[in-house]
Structure 1
Amino acid sequence: MSFDVDFSGLLTKMQRVSQAVQQAVEDTAEKAAEEIHEKAIEYASGPMNPDWKAKQARTAKRENVRNSGKRVALHFKDNAEYLWYREVMHEGKGTPPWPVSVNTGTFRRAHRRERIRKGVWRVFGDSKIARYFSYVHDGTIRMKGRPTIGKAVQEFKQSGRIREIGRAMLRKNLQGVK
């Protein structure tokens, strides 16, 4: 008595499943990098807080632009606003406000993402676009850092969103395997 068992169909299907899983990992990494990148740009842009935008507009007014050009005159409504500005921006006691003062959008454009190899992406700040990116992100001795990318990565990790993305991509790629 002899038995002949043909596993060629099983091997073919296992190879297709393996390719689908590899593609799901690549898609998951790409989607995660995309979401982190978008969140970092959102942090660089700052929350849409009308009070902060009004305060930013008041402190960014220039006095006598034709003659001095670079001189910025700060206008405060009252002493409390001045004390807040001094405490946060100069003494570093409070949390710096979001957003980073953005006039041109160069800081936002400096946020990049790229594929390093299969399944590996990175989100980074391009210092060729904005030379000051690391100073704003990491801070200096006179200013606290505003880590847009670090904060986006931390929030993404804590949200557990990577599992949701991975499951969705795996489901999507395994649907075609038969």
Structure 2
Amino acid sequence: MAEVYAGLASRAGRDRGATPGRFALGTFALANGALSIAIVSVAAAVVNESLVFPSLGPTAYLLSYAPTDVTTTPRNIIVGHLLGVVAGYLALVVFGLLDAPSAFEADVTASRAAAAALSLGLTAAFMTWLDAAHPPAGATTLIVSLGILTTPHQVTALMIAVVFLAYQGIAINRLAGLRVPLWR
């Protein structure tokens, strides 16, 4: 978060070498995190589509807490969540769970547990192989493999929200004076 303070200090014409206080950094995280999800929520209301998902929370947090980390580049955010969606969906197909009730509507069966395990393993492996680490994608793959979001419409909405969040996070961080990449 030191880079956040340096960027804000630069914008304000203050000493970039000053040590940021926890309160200042927490305030930035509060504003950035809340604004990130608020913008996605407003967009969801405008288009009358559910675009707010649990795995967006950790992504929004990382965009405010570690905005220059490789895990928060748009490439890693988008590719990571996409891998999570694909792995989760593949696990549903492999274990015959596409039409099964979610793990929250029915008992967690051996098939559901295996689907969750497979989806997380595949997501982690492919993020590693593709050098596209984004830890919140682990939540995305579980959202799909546990049956919470399973239809093509739902996972498309999820990915639209991910892309939107990634780029509005970039915009906010650039406004704060940070040099964050547009893709990688």
| TM-score, scaled relative to structure 1 | 0.29
| TM-score, scaled relative to structure 2 | 0.29
> Which structure's residues are more often strand, by fraction?
1
> Which structure's residues are more often helix, by fraction?
2
